[in-house]
Amino acid sequence: MVTLGIDSGSKTTKAVLYNGKDILETMIVPTSANPRKSLYGVYCKLFSSEVTNTMITGYGRELLKEADQRVTEITCHARGSVFLNSDICGIIDIGGQDSKVILLNQEGRVIDFLMNDKCAAGTGRFIDNMMRILEIKSDMLDDFIKSGTPVNISSMCTVFAESEVISLLAKDVPPGDIALGVIHSIAKRTANFAQKLPLGKNVFFSGGLANSKAIATILEGYLGQPIKTNPFGQYAGAIGAAIIGWEKKTWRNHEGNLESSIF
């Protein structure tokens, strides 16, 4: 038995296959101007006769009619993050369109959360826009800023920050220094947001930005404590969806066996 979990995000669409113990396969594609097309792209690629349950989460979760169930992002990110690191008590997730802070109990269940989906300045989209202006590819970010000196980015509104970055470039400020300043500004904002909840000492950093060691390190500095990451951290929502799908299917099978034994 295999379950398929899909996270339809604003920037990327992620999917995983899960067998109750291990992640068998992953897939990630950009969420295009047609999110339905991106969704069906990963669905058609990974779905097979072995898949017994398809679970979906994220912004586009209503777009896949073949899904067996739709699950909230908070629940899926929590389950996926705990799968990747079982001893965590809090999660910071910076997505393309929002940022989330999730507080967990000792059993890894959600007991509180905060979501910032009103301001783009606290999201991955903010960094993407700034990197586009600076002509930096996201996968080259760490190398680009490693010898930089951060400049202060005073504007946290995306529109004004863009103007500020352009103005700094016009003053011949090195792009690496500006990029590092942008990262410091979003890390500081994220830390202030996260500290509204008592996350404790074991915090997991998920989302696409967690792939950057530089961002994780700078965020640690503003939080005042180490944070945990995982190479599959960007897939946390999809992993959680797949795990929930597995548990639901297993429970249904268990109920069916009970009914058979009774009758």
In a shared domain, residues 21 and 148: no
For the chain, what is the domain count?
A: 2
Using CA atoms, how far apart are residues 240 and 82, in angstroms rounded to an integer? 9
What's the whole-number average pLDDT of the chain? 88
Q: Write out the H or E segment, with its range, that includes residue 141.
A: helix 141-145
Q: What are 87-102's pLDDT values in tens digits?
A: 999 999 988 778 899 9
In a shared domain, residues 198 and 115: yes
Q: What confidence score (pLDDT) does residue 203 get? A: 97
Q: Tell whether the model's pLDDT for residue 181 goes beyond 60.
A: yes
In a shared domain, residues 139 and 18: no
In a shared domain, residues 52 and 91: no
**Can you read off the two tokens belonging to residue 72?**
């909230």
In a shared domain, residues 224 and 239: no
In a shared domain, residues 6 and 32: yes
In a shared domain, residues 115 and 220: yes
Q: What are 46-62's pLDDT values in tens digits?
A: 999 999 999 999 999 99
In a shared domain, residues 92 and 212: yes
Q: What confidence score (pLDDT) does residue 131 get? A: 83
In a shared domain, residues 67 and 192: no
Nearest C-alpha neighbor of 28 from the set 44, 42, 45: 42
Q: pTM for the whole thing?
A: 0.90
Give how far Cα 234 sits from Cα of 10, 91, 161, 185, Å. Answer: 13, 13, 26, 21
Q: What are 34-48's pLDDT values in tens digits?
A: 999 999 999 999 999
CATH of the domain at 170: 3.30.420.40
In a shared domain, residues 145 and 105: yes
Q: What confidence score (pLDDT) does residue 148 get? A: 84
Please compute the mean of the pLDDT values over residues 111-131 and round it to a whole number. Answer: 78
In a shared domain, residues 96 and 6: no
Name the residue range of residue 20's domain: 2-78+235-262
Nearest C-alpha neighbor of 199 from the set 122, 111, 138, 95: 111
**20-40 burial code (b ≥16 CB/10 A, e <16):** eeebeebbbeebeeebeebbb
In a shared domain, residues 178 and 163: yes
